Amino acid sequence: MPSAATAVTLASKCTIFPFKQSSFSDLKLSVSDLPMLSVHYIQKGCLFTYPPFPIAHLISLLKLSLSQTLAQFPPLAGQFVTDLNGYVYISCNDVGVDFVHASATHIFIRDVIGSVDVPDHVKEFFPMDRTVSYRGHFSPLLAVQVTELADGVFIGCAVNHSVMDGTSFWNFFNTFAEVSRGVKRMTRQPDFTRNSILISNSVLKLPDDGPKITFVGDAPLRERIFSFSRESIQRLKAKTNNRKLNYEGEINVVELMAKRSIDPLKMKTETETINPTAEISSFQSLCALLWRAVTRARKFPPSKMTTFRMAVNCRHRLQPKLNPLYFGNAIQSIPTYASAGDVLSHDLHWCAEQLNKNVKAHDDATVRKFVEDWEKDPRCFPLGNFDGAMLTMGSSPRFPMYDNDFGWGRPVAVRSGRANKFDGKISAFPGREGGGSVDLEVILSPETMEGLESDPEFMQFVTAY
């Protein structure tokens, strides 16, 4: 049996070209795209049971459907070019993408999802390991790897993060799956327009050899998936909002409404007056729970300032709004600061409220202010945990990760590669059962992870790990 260092064997590698030639002009990188030149390619993928046909047929099918999908996403088959003025573009020149067929037939599905920590061999299910996005000037912007397991297959994608964010990534992945299972009409057409405030005349100056990642890439880390059921999330949200649940786990709206007037206008006014933070979301509640638990586990003095950073989608925050399927990056990172003493001396509601206030305040004016500030000082995004007290939340439980049916069923699990991982990096995935369930991919130092695992407040809401 191969060792962990050689868990995956390369079977073949080739270049896939779009099914038809692109007629697209160059796409200019935006103020949301350019800062990502210093981060790794996105690496996300799905684990499936073994298809009901030979692996050779699957490889042929995926090659053809990838070619057809690229015709709908021409920028992914292109390459970066920097002009004489320093502006970076995607040249939609049809240079193609990498397609890798790999084998790890000694690894079973249970070996991928059954261990406490995410096993190291999962990182080998992805191409373009540790590739920095600036390399899109010389390397493909997309690579797909299909890894054959003993009783399943893993389909992993690596996409340049300066080309797209999570919203665009999963739209591509969903479309790839749709084409593979024979869907003829594309259901979610990407919007490639470049006419918003995100397109700037400012120039990001870079060293001749390109930017480097801003975090330590070889620090000792542990990686775990913590799952939260729909019922657990509802219970957590109710606790955060100081609400009662009925015996079915739902908010007791009858009791809530009985205390208010039946007049709709008056009820709305009273709701806003009595409890202006009534809409603290399930996800903000979960983030607050994690913030408190990790702060406890890190054993900071009360005066230590901590940071919880969340990526927010700006498509609907701008006025006029961007198309929900705008292709590219349309995200901004919102930091929320609080001392360790404040995080731990206040309750869960207080922590969630700090996050809630910042997210609610991130409106059109705030998005534009972020753009203006960047234009005054263009720079790459400083990804990492620079003072040991940061948490960075990425991805989203709203992304349609389990909609990826390539023709023989939904994924068993979603996993990510080694890209952009450091102490305090968290990614949120929808739970496989849906209905508001959430999986958190948590990356922490070994000591902090041990503290998190023994934290009663956090673990009481965890339903699988």
pLDDT tens track for 345-388: 999 999 999 999 999 999 999 999 999 999 999 999 999 999 99
**Cis peptide leading into 320, omega within 30 of 0?**
yes
Residue 259 pLDDT > 90, yes or no? no
pLDDT at 228: 98
How large is the angle between the packed helices 348-361 and 282-298, nearest 10 degrees?
Answer: 120
The count of other CB atoms within 10 Å of the CB of residue 309 is 19
HSE toward the beta carbon, residue 4, CA cutoff 13 A: 7
Q: pLDDT band for position 219 (50/70/90)?
A: confident
Among all chains, which residue has been given the structure tokens 């399943």? 152
Q: pLDDT band for position 246 (50/70/90)?
A: low
| Mean model confidence pLDDT for the chain | 92
Q: pLDDT band for position 257 (50/70/90)?
A: very low
Q: pLDDT band for position 398 (50/70/90)?
A: very high
Strand segments (E) across 50-130: 79-82, 88-91, 97-104
Check residue 459 and give left, alpha or beta (phi > 0: left; psi -120 to 50: alpha): alpha
Q: pLDDT band for position 243 (50/70/90)?
A: confident
Residue type at 39 in one-letter notation: V
pLDDT at 250: 53
Residues 124, 8 contacting (CB under 8 angstroms): yes
Residue type at 184 in one-letter notation: K
Query: Which run of H or E residues covers position 451?
Result: helix 446-453
Per the structure block, which two tokens stand in for 52?
A: 């009901």
What whole-number distance in Å separates Cα of residue 55 and Cα of residue 42? 26
What whole-number distance in Å separates Cα of residue 304 and Cα of residue 415? 33
Per the structure block, which two tokens stand in for 241?
A: 């909002």
Residue 267 pLDDT > 80, yes or no? no
Per the structure block, which two tokens stand in for 364?
A: 């059109």
Q: pLDDT band for position 265 (50/70/90)?
A: very low
Report pTM: 0.92
Per the structure block, which two tokens stand in for 258?
A: 């009985």
Residue 244 pLDDT > 80, yes or no? no
Residues 71, 167 contacting (CB under 8 angstroms): no
pLDDT at 272: 34
DSSP state of 173: H
Give every strand in the sheet of 305-313, ordered side by side.
222-228, 438-444, 425-430, 390-395, 305-313, 331-339
Q: pLDDT band for position 274 (50/70/90)?
A: very low
First to last CA, the chain: 27
Residue 254 pLDDT > 70, yes or no? no
Q: pLDDT band for position 5 (50/70/90)?
A: low
pLDDT at 278: 54
Give every strand in the sheet of 79-82, ordered side by side.
27-28, 88-91, 79-82
pLDDT at 343: 98
